[in-house]
Each structure stands twice: as C-alpha cells, then as structure tokens.
A and B are shown apart, each in its own frame.
Chain A
C-alpha cells in the first residue's frame, strides 16, 4: 500500500547568551564538571530563578525570523518529574503562554507551519561510566537557555525534514540566536512520525524519537520509522503510540522501556517568576536588529548584484561567508568580482587550510579595488593573493612592490624600447589589416618588460598612439 508520511519536529537549540537563563552562571561548553554552577542551577534549597533578558530577546528574534507572533504576556511554568539531570525535580518551561506562537519556514516551494517557540532551561549531563558502576551528574549544562521550536505535523518526507532543519539552523545562526553546534548538543531534535494510507484524512498513530543530534540521523531515523510503520500496517497491524530510541550505530530504533503515557508533568505557573510583559514597541525595536535572513540575502544578491543562483546559494549558506562577502564588497563596491574571487580562490584555498580563511575580507576588497583602479593586473593580483595567504605581507605593501609602480613616463619609455627593438613587427603592423590582433602582441611585450606591472589597457592606448 502507498502511504502519506506525516512528520512533526521539536527542535531544541541552546541560545547564545553569556549567562544561564535563570542565574548568572557562565553558559559555556567544555568546562570541568560542576564549575559553572551556583545555588540556583544545582537546585539548592532556598535558591530562586531570575530570568535572563537576553534569552527572552533571542527567542523573540527567532520568532520574528520565522514570522511568528510574539505574545504580549509570557508565562513560565514548572514541568515536574524526577530525573538525576534535573536538579530541582522540575524544569522551568512554558506551556500556556509561550513567547512565540505560529510562524512558518520555507522548505522547497512550501511553507512548513510552525506551532510555537518557547523558552526553557536545559538539563545537566549524565555520564554512564561502565567500569565504576556509577552514573555521574554534571550540572554545568543545567540552566543553559534552550529554545524549543515545535512544528505542526506538516512535513512529509525525511528529506523535507532535513531541509527544514538546515534552513532553521542557518536562520538561527545568522540571527545570532544560537550557534547550533550539533556535535556539542547545541541543537537537538525530537521527531514525531506517523503514516496514513494515501489520501486518507485520518492521522495514524505516531511514534516519537528523542534527542537526535545530527541531520543524518534524523534522516535515517525517519526513513527507518516510515518503513517499519508501513510494514506493520501492510500486515494489518496497528502502530503503537510510543517513544522509541534511535540507535545510530545499528541503524534501527526500538521502543523505550518506560511508557510515556504514565507521565503526568503537573505543569503549573512557577510562583518564583513573574510573567513577562513584552510591549509591541519592544518587539518592533528587536525586529529592527534582525538582519536580512539568508534566503532574503540570496534573492538580493541575484537581483541587485547579478550573482548566479549557484553563487548566491553558496555564499548565503554560511554566516561567515556572508559576512566575508558583505565586507569585501563594501570596500571595493564590486560584488560580482568578490563573488568570483570568493568562490574560485578563497574557498578553494580555504579547503587546504581546514576551512580557515587566511586572507581577510578587507584585504580581498582592497585587492579587487586595486584591479578595478588599474593599479594591478589579474596576474599580479593572484600573486599578491598567494603571498598574503601564505603570510608574506599585506595587499597594500605587496601591490607597491609587485605592481602598480609603472608610471606613465616609465611606460612610455618601455614602449619606445619595444618599438625600437622590433622593427619587423612595426612594419607588419603598418601593413596589416588586423591591427587589433597585432597590437596585442606589443602589449604582451610591454607586459613582459614591465614584469606584469604595467596596466595593459593603458599600455595598449599608448602603443596605438606611438605607432600611428
């Protein structure tokens, strides 16, 4: 039988703040265990949460970036359950009035509908150490601000899910909301999957897979789950509504031991926190700080700068490439040239150095400006590029050394020499019908003599004058 696939995502991203969401401890990855901690985030008796303004601001930003609506009043609730990574035995989260409701994100030619984005605190980290027979609890991550974005069940393939996540990630990174470092757990995803006979209105039973931490595993887990559910239905069975664990190494998922249905989180408003009033003026103010999003920039680059779809796509894929492109362009005012250099030279070269770009955007802008102003030609420019990349100087001083130092007097002298030394060529020139072709030969000779420092356009003009 053929099935329609219905997927909903719950995406967690750690927000890019200095301090945690309810205390002033450092929001920092990789510290020694329990060293970014205080009475609040380790849940000591008597400690009270105090909300971080920046965390709220970042969720508002994320909400605006996906076209969501910002609630005028945001309420924080406690989600109660026992687990060793949860120091207070409740997680502060949002249920009734999250910061953002609604929104959508473009995937292919379609808008995937978003249900909400809310702010909550991350849990600590558990390490299961086999040898000691212990599980170790580190609360450094406890209280790190997390945004949770929940989509509507509006995604219809594993590929679409991955594209959604890719686009979301680039928006969050670009808006400076989150770094989304998957390998550090900075972005994690829960996936709900159900299938139904093609065309059917009735949703099937769904299963949930928690904490998938790479796009690849999201894709594989969904594909596996769709196949598994189809097999069940094909055999006339019923899909069990359950939480499953994805085993990335084995490439399979299996039902978790504990039935989620028994969970009753007993949400209620956290009496330690006031609700937050977010004025419309504040929302407008934050909106102004929101940069153009990658997809908007892409359109702009194609329309205004004449970049190809391919070029614009590559540049807008990464935040740092956009920044590089923007800065270099602002210096030389030649975005198309910047794009050429960036795609052919800079990024190619960067691959040799672990993705690191060893020539600043400012230097590239300057170099392109020198070419445009006729101060150096392309050949010299490439030489300068290579030297700067290798750390052998900067564009300005190299340009002075290698190019641009041939003034009009020197150039005239060189041309005179070339003409004097090549009488046959001069005669050929005068006899020829294809003067333009032969003049190029002279230009080439001048370039050779000047060791590439002469401006070829300027040289051509002067040679013409002298020969005629």
Chain B
C-alpha cells in the first residue's frame, strides 16, 4: 500500500503548478491514498511476457513540408488576458 506524506503532495503540487491550503491538503492526502490503493492493483498483474506494440506509421505517410498561412495575429491574441505590440505579455521575468 502506497503511503503518501504531505511533503510528497507538496512536491506534486509544485510540479502541477497548484496550491492547496492546509485543510484541503489533509483531505487530499486521504483521497489520494485511496486512489493509489485502487490504482496499485495493477502491480499484481504479471506482465513479464507482454510486448508493448505502439501505433506506428511509415516515414512516407508523414506530412509534406508545405508552408501554409496560419491565423492572424489578431486571432492569435483573441483570448489573451494581456497583450502588447502583437505579443502575449506577462510581468517582466528576471533574465536568467
């Protein structure tokens, strides 16, 4: 049975770009453990002889390299929460 601690949930939250307050965090841990227990069932399955087949297509079926007009700058920015001079804009980032 997979045990999950608060630190692990915080690590996942950081990867997920999500925040949880302390109260919801506790409920979350409980739910999460239940889910992991259900999901953990797959560990019991013997897959040693299984050969995974991936959907594949041939090189020749790939898209030809023809350039086409996309959508206009105005359409690109249609739903943008903030834009400036044809660009999406965010608060200035420190150059790294």
Contact = CB atoms under 8 A, between A and B. Distances in A.
Nearest to B15: A264
Interface in B55-96: 55-60, 62-68, 70-73, 76-77, 84-96
B71 A39 contact: yes
Given A130-B92, A257-B96, A276-B56, A51 B68 contact: no
B89 A136 contact: yes
Contact of B55 (A36, A57, A256, A275): A275
Interface of A is mostly: loop
A136 B87 CA distance: 5
Given A128-B95, A274-B55, A134 B67 contact: no
Given A27-B67, A34-B76, A277-B59, A133 B91 contact: yes
Contact of A25 (B17, B70, B87, B88): B70
Contacts of A41: 70
B17 A82 contact: yes
A17 B70 contact: no
A161 interface: no
Contacts, number: 137
Interface residues of A, number: 58
Given A33-B87, A53-B64, A54-B65, A135 B93 contact: yes
A53 B70 contact: no
A400 interface: no
B54 interface: yes
A52 interface: yes
Nearest to A84: B90
Nearest to B72: A35
Nearest to A15: B65
Interface in A8-22: 17-19
Contacts of B63: 24, 50-53
A137 B73 contact: no
B82 to A, nearest CB: 8
Given A19-B68, A24-B66, A38-B70, A134 B59 contact: no
B96 A134 contact: no
Nearest to B52: A269
Given A82-B17, A128-B93, A136-B84, A37 B70 contact: yes
Which 5 residue pairs are nearest across A and B when measured between Cβ atoms? A38-B70, A54-B65, A53-B62, A136-B87, A33-B86
11 contacts: A26-B67, A35-B73, A37-B70, A39-B71, A73-B56, A127-B87, A132-B84, A134-B89, A137-B90, A264-B15, A279-B58
